Amino acid sequence: MSDFFLEYGLFLAQTVTLVAAVLVVIGFAVASSRKGQEDGGLTVKSLNERYRELTDVIRREVLPKKALKAEMKARKAEEKARSAGDDDRRRVFVIDFHGDIKASGVAGLRREISAILGLATPRDEVVVRLDNHGGLVHEHGLAASQLIRLREREIPLTVIVDKVAASGGYMMACVANRLVAAPFSIIGSVGVLAQIPNFHRLLKEHGVEVEQLKAGRYKRTVTMFGENTDADRAKVTEELEEVHTLFRQLIGDYRPALDLERIATGEHWLGRRALELGLVDELGTSDDYLLQAIENSDLYRVKWEGRKTLQSRLSAAIEGGTAAALRAAWQSLWDQRHGAR
């Protein structure tokens, strides 16, 4: 009997120790997460080196040894001249902006541009690789304002759209000095949209009444649970028209040659048609543009990376595990079907 209690005591002590250790680890993680929640860092990488590493693999296999040796010699001379300060190559700062409905990348964009403004001159250039479907007006308006900061300092701004610059995305793109789009990218959607479900009839059928108290005539217009009137809808439409007018004015300020009546209809076009309408300046991809710039420029990719919180890390781990499980299930199903055939 004493042995049983001894073993039970040891088991209980081990369990308590393990639980305490886990709690301590979680506590440190939460504390560090809260402490560095607003912290992050700016990373700057040379794209010249990146592209050079990619092409060097092919050069070593394709070029004759004599030609490869001569090229390496010329490269060393170029690097020596650059280190001595005799190189007059301009700098191109590259920013990537992948938008969502909340324009979440604005937090990093404002830091990236602030850092660039501390160094860049009108002789340099900023290239933004933009992929943005649009979303909330105020968030995308702020993103566009960040790009306008470069224009105000007379630093050349080029926006390149490989996939999508629609609605709020085009609000950002239109402020560029030079707007480049891939032939099959989606451009435009210059319009404003608001929609909200209304459950008033459904609730009324089930005997549920929703009371809403307000001070100020337009403190609340259309609602999800209350009864919406024609006056409420008219007020929201008026607000949408006002935003649309400001959107059109922004485009007109930076692309005055555009026929606003033609393009501000909410429609979107593919890149080639957008060029004909004047929505973009030229067709091309970011890869071609940067490869051409490498010939006479030093390219630097600038990115702000915020510190991940414990919650975001756990979410990423859960998402990764779920994705892995789905891939495994799909692969198993595929193997079964393939084997059955």
How many angstroms separate the first and last alpha carbons of the chain?
A: 63
Pick from 130, 136, 118, 192: nearest CA to 157: 130
> Could you give the count of Cα atoms lying within 13 Å of 92 in the half-sphere of its Cβ?
22
In angstroms and rounded to an integer, the radius of gyration of the C-alpha atoms of the chain is 28
> Of residues 65, 66, 214, 219, which has the active-site annotation?
219
Burial of 291 (0-12, 13-18, 19+ CB in 10 A): middle
227 sits in the region (left: phi over 0; alpha: psi -120 to 50; else beta) called beta
| DSSP 3-state of 314 | helix
214 is catalytic: no
Q: How many CB atoms neighbour CB 143 within 10 A? A: 25
At residue 216, φ and ψ (nearest 5 deg) are 110, 125
Can you list the positions of beta strands (E) in the chain? Answer: 40-46, 90-98, 125-132, 157-166, 178-181, 186-188, 268-270, 282-283, 297-306
> Of residues 167, 189, 286, 297, which has the active-site annotation?
167
DSSP at 268 = E
167 is catalytic: yes
Q: Which residues contact 225 (CB under 8 A, 6 or more apart)?
A: 198, 199, 200, 203, 210, 212
DSSP 39-76: -EEEEEEEHHHHHHHHHHHHHHHHS-HHHHHHHHHHHH
Q: Which two tokens stand for residue 321?
A: 């595990």
Decide: 159 and 128 in contact? Cβ < 8 Å.
yes
Q: Which two tokens stand for residue 46?
A: 């040379």
| Positions marked active-site | 167, 219
